[in-house]
A and B are shown apart, each in its own frame.
Chain A
Amino acid sequence: QKEVEQNSGPLSVPEGAIASLNCTYSDRGSQSFFWYRQYSGKSPELIMSIYSNGDKEDGRFTAQLNKASQYVSLLIRDSQPSDSATYLCAVRGFNSGGSNYKLTFGKGTLLTVNP
């Protein structure tokens, strides 16, 4: 059973701080890793994808991947109240056929950024 684990939170940070969101996964063969942001009542929005070990930066967001430790994280610098949302970690393994399309989602971490 492939699993993706996230701290459910809520994670509360002050405005301007760095928010750190963590995710671990059980399938060592996983190849692709994604972070989605979901505002209450809205659909998930893809904000970061990472495929190789190391860091990937996009604006205020940095994704970090460590395949040896089976760990992926998302850092949000200079957090804003508008970043308050649930962040979903999603992982895809590499299999032939249809299962190559399947994402395994974590349960999500609720982030609250306080003004």
Chain B
Amino acid sequence: DTEVTQTPKHLVMGMTNKKSLKCEQHMGHRAMYWYKQKAKKPPELMFVYSYEKLSINESVPSRFSPECPNSSLLNLHLHALQPEDSALYLCASSQGSSGSSYNEQFFGPGTRLTVL
């Protein structure tokens, strides 16, 4: 079962709101990712968690705050976003073995975020 789930599917928020995006996988994967994708652009990596520790932060503004409560869950906390942050937010997971060169990444369906 190569399924990554994300909630909510759609989210509309004001610039002063605080909201969270959630991601879950039950494939036993140990690496989880947040990507941002704007229309007609490829996914843009934001964060990587490996074995529940933040491994990569691609210089993402602090208004985005990731959290990995356990190996199956990944959250993205949002606060004081700007309209230009409106995008499709994608979660992905992979096996996460640091010695493996394979590490196929499987994406969830995404959360369509609109910031007003």
Contacts and interface: CB of A to CB of B under 8 A. Distances in A.
Interface of A: 31-32, 34, 36, 42-46, 49, 51, 88, 90, 92, 94, 96-103, 105-108
Interface string B46-72: 001010000110000000000000000
6 smallest A-B Cβ distances: which pairs?
Answer: A105-B42, A98-B55, A31-B101, A43-B107, A98-B56, A43-B110
A101 B104 contact: no
B102 A51 contact: yes
A101 B48 contact: yes
Nearest to B41: A107
A49 B104 contact: yes
Contact of A101 (B43, B50, B88, B90): B50
Given A100-B103, A101-B48, 19 more contacts: A34-B104, A34-B105, A36-B107, A42-B110, A43-B108, A43-B110, A44-B90, A46-B107, A92-B101, A94-B101, A97-B55, A99-B56, A100-B101, A101-B50, A101-B55, A103-B105, A105-B42, A107-B41, A107-B42
Contacts of A44: 43, 90, 107
B31 interface: yes
Given A98-B55, A101-B56, A105-B43, A43 B88 contact: yes
A51 B101 contact: yes
Interface string B92-111: 00101010011111111110
Q: B50, B90, B107, B108: which has the most chain A beta carbons within 10 Å?
A: B107
A32 B102 contact: yes
Nearest to B107: A43
B103 A32 contact: yes
A99 to B, nearest CB: 7
Given A98-B48, A101-B33, A102-B48, A45 B42 contact: no
Given A98-B50, A98-B56, A100-B98, A92 B103 contact: yes
Nearest to A100: B98
